[in-house]
Structure 1
Amino acid sequence: MKSDLQQYVEARKRRDPEFADGYDAGYEEFKLGLLLRQAREEAGLTQDALAKRAKTPKTTIARIEANAEGAPLTVIDRLARALGKTLKVELVEAT
């Protein structure tokens, strides 16, 4: 069963294509930050420890984990490698 929020978002996306595009884009950026945070936590690392490994300021990691909007792929890749991961980017057909 969908929550009231999920129902609202789905209805609004159907009515308003601009809202749908913005919501979907924002969600993808949020999801990327969340994935990085989960990978860091699974590795048992603090933001400080990851910053040292990746030679990246802790503030950059905190910002990306909160909202990855505008984060360069080179930085995302460096963080992924410091976590023992590989960044994979795919272009797929739009639905």
Structure 2
Amino acid sequence: MDDLDRYIASRKSRDPKFAKEFEATRPEHEAALAIMKARIEAQMTQEELAERSGMRASNISRLESGRSVPTVRTLAQIAKGLGRRLKIEFV
């Protein structure tokens, strides 16, 4: 568990309103973290990923920060830029 996970767990335990909102927006958080994690694993900057994905770096930044919610098409563009494929699952 990293620092962010510990912070979120602590905040959720202290603040029921935060916990409810966090759970309601969990898919958006997971998408943002997945993009960031894949980019870092590929040892790319936001600028490099943007260029390879045919996007602007500011778009990648907004997606990773959670200020923007990606479409499936956008996720597929990012996957292609990472040299990966997009896989969507219901678990």
Measured against the shorter chain, the TM-score band is 0.7 to 0.9
Q: 1:53 to 1:6 in 2, by over 3 A?
A: closer
Structure 1 spans left out of the alignment, 5+ residues: none
Q: CA deviation at 1:7?
A: 6.4
Percent pairwise identity: 26
- Corresponding residue of 2:3: none
TM-score by length of 2: 0.72
- Corresponding residue of 2:72: 73
> The residue matched to 1:36 in structure 2 has which SS?
helix
Whether the 8 Å contact between 2:62 and 2:68 is mirrored in structure 1 is no
CA distance in 2, matches of 1:39, 1:4: 22
- Corresponding residue of 1:61: 60
> The residue matched to 1:50 in structure 2 has which SS?
helix
Q: 1:9 aligns with which of 9, 12, 17?
A: 12
Counterpart of 1:59 in structure 2: which amino acid? S
Q: CA deviation at 1:4?
A: 9.0
RMSD after superposition = 2.7
Aligned length: 86
Equivalent residue runs for 1:1-95 within 5 Å: 6=9, 9=12, 20=20, 22-67=21-66, 69-92=68-91
Structure 2 spans left out of the alignment, 5+ residues: 1-5
> Where in structure 1 do 4 or more consecutive aligned residues deviate above 2 Å?
3-13
Counterpart of 2:22 in structure 1: which amino acid? Y
Q: CA deviation at 1:75?
A: 0.6
CA distance in 1, matches of 2:8, 2:37: 24
| Larger Rg over CA atoms | 1
